[in-house]
Amino acid sequence: MGAVVALTPEAGAEAPGSQKTLSEDDHDRAQHARERGEIRPLEEILPTVRERFPGEVAQIELEREQGIWIYEFKIIDRAGRLLEIRIDAMTGRVAKIGGE
Protein backbone atom coordinates (compact mmCIF):
# COMPACT_ATOMS: atom_id res chain seq x y z
CA MET A 1 0.00 0.00 0.00
CA GLY A 2 1.21 3.51 -0.76
CA ALA A 3 0.58 6.81 0.96
CA VAL A 4 -2.68 7.28 2.84
CA VAL A 5 -4.20 10.63 3.71
CA ALA A 6 -7.16 10.37 6.06
CA LEU A 7 -9.95 12.87 5.61
CA THR A 8 -13.13 13.08 7.61
CA PRO A 9 -16.27 15.12 7.08
CA GLU A 10 -15.03 17.24 9.98
CA ALA A 11 -11.80 17.79 8.04
CA GLY A 12 -13.51 19.95 5.46
CA ALA A 13 -15.32 17.40 3.32
CA GLU A 14 -18.72 18.64 4.48
CA ALA A 15 -18.51 22.37 4.19
CA PRO A 16 -16.11 24.90 2.75
CA GLY A 17 -14.17 26.72 5.44
CA SER A 18 -14.28 23.86 7.95
CA GLN A 19 -11.18 23.30 10.08
CA LYS A 20 -8.71 20.79 8.69
CA THR A 21 -7.75 18.05 11.14
CA LEU A 22 -5.20 16.32 8.92
CA SER A 23 -1.60 16.22 9.98
CA GLU A 24 0.37 18.93 8.25
CA ASP A 25 2.34 16.37 6.21
CA ASP A 26 -0.81 14.56 5.02
CA HIS A 27 -2.54 17.78 4.10
CA ASP A 28 0.56 18.97 2.24
CA ARG A 29 0.79 15.68 0.30
CA ALA A 30 -2.83 15.94 -0.81
CA GLN A 31 -2.45 19.63 -1.67
CA HIS A 32 0.65 18.98 -3.77
CA ALA A 33 -1.08 16.16 -5.66
CA ARG A 34 -3.96 18.52 -6.37
CA GLU A 35 -1.63 21.31 -7.52
CA ARG A 36 0.19 18.90 -9.86
CA GLY A 37 -3.13 17.88 -11.40
CA GLU A 38 -2.82 14.31 -10.12
CA ILE A 39 -6.17 14.40 -8.31
CA ARG A 40 -9.46 16.21 -8.66
CA PRO A 41 -10.51 18.25 -5.65
CA LEU A 42 -12.65 16.43 -3.11
CA GLU A 43 -15.22 19.21 -3.50
CA GLU A 44 -15.80 18.01 -7.09
CA ILE A 45 -15.95 14.29 -6.23
CA LEU A 46 -18.08 14.34 -3.08
CA PRO A 47 -21.41 15.55 -4.59
CA THR A 48 -21.35 12.76 -7.19
CA VAL A 49 -20.57 10.14 -4.55
CA ARG A 50 -23.42 11.38 -2.36
CA GLU A 51 -25.84 11.31 -5.28
CA ARG A 52 -24.93 7.76 -6.30
CA PHE A 53 -24.53 6.38 -2.77
CA PRO A 54 -27.01 8.04 -0.38
CA GLY A 55 -26.20 7.78 3.30
CA GLU A 56 -23.81 9.17 5.88
CA VAL A 57 -20.18 9.68 4.87
CA ALA A 58 -18.31 8.25 7.85
CA GLN A 59 -14.74 8.48 6.57
CA ILE A 60 -12.72 9.54 3.54
CA GLU A 61 -9.15 8.56 2.78
CA LEU A 62 -6.85 9.46 -0.06
CA GLU A 63 -4.53 6.57 -0.91
CA ARG A 64 -1.81 6.15 -3.48
CA GLU A 65 -1.59 2.60 -4.77
CA GLN A 66 0.64 1.55 -7.63
CA GLY A 67 0.98 5.17 -8.70
CA ILE A 68 -2.77 5.86 -8.73
CA TRP A 69 -4.52 8.14 -6.25
CA ILE A 70 -7.76 6.69 -4.88
CA TYR A 71 -10.40 8.38 -2.74
CA GLU A 72 -11.86 5.75 -0.41
CA PHE A 73 -15.25 6.62 1.06
CA LYS A 74 -16.85 4.70 3.91
CA ILE A 75 -20.57 5.33 3.79
CA ILE A 76 -23.33 4.07 6.07
CA ASP A 77 -26.24 3.54 3.71
CA ARG A 78 -29.92 4.00 4.55
CA ALA A 79 -30.20 0.32 5.52
CA GLY A 80 -27.35 0.74 8.02
CA ARG A 81 -24.78 -1.18 5.97
CA LEU A 82 -21.19 0.07 5.75
CA LEU A 83 -20.13 0.54 2.13
CA GLU A 84 -16.58 1.09 0.94
CA ILE A 85 -16.53 3.07 -2.29
CA ARG A 86 -13.21 3.55 -4.09
CA ILE A 87 -13.02 6.41 -6.60
CA ASP A 88 -10.15 7.13 -8.99
CA ALA A 89 -9.08 10.56 -7.71
CA MET A 90 -8.02 11.72 -11.17
CA THR A 91 -10.99 10.63 -13.27
CA GLY A 92 -13.75 10.56 -10.66
CA ARG A 93 -14.79 7.08 -11.82
CA VAL A 94 -15.87 4.37 -9.41
CA ALA A 95 -13.01 1.88 -9.14
CA LYS A 96 -14.63 -0.52 -6.68
CA ILE A 97 -17.71 -0.92 -4.51
CA GLY A 98 -17.57 -3.17 -1.48
CA GLY A 99 -19.00 -3.66 1.95
CA GLU A 100 -17.58 -4.47 5.33
Is the entire prediction scored with pTM above 0.85? no
Average pLDDT (7-35) is: 58
pLDDT at 4: 52
**27-48 pLDDT tens trace:** 788 889 999 999 999 899 999 9
Q: What is the CATH number of the domain that holds 46?
A: 3.10.450.40
The CA distance from 57 to 52, in Å, is 12
Q: What is the pLDDT of residue 30?
A: 84
State pLDDT tens for residues 44-78.
999 999 999 999 999 998 888 898 999 999 999 99
Residues in Cβ contact with 89 at an 8 Å cutoff, skipping those fewer than 6 apart: 33, 38, 39, 40, 45, 62, 68, 69, 70, 71
Going across the sheet that includes 82-88, the strands are 4-7, 56-65, 68-76, 82-88, 94-99
Instruction: Tell me the HSE value of 9 on the side-chain side, using a 13 A CA sphere.
Output: 12
Per the structure, the count of domains in the chain is 1
Query: Whole domain around residue 54: which residue ranges?
Result: 4-11+20-99
Residue 5 vs residue 39, higher pLDDT: 39
Q: 13 near 39, Cβ under 8 Å?
A: no
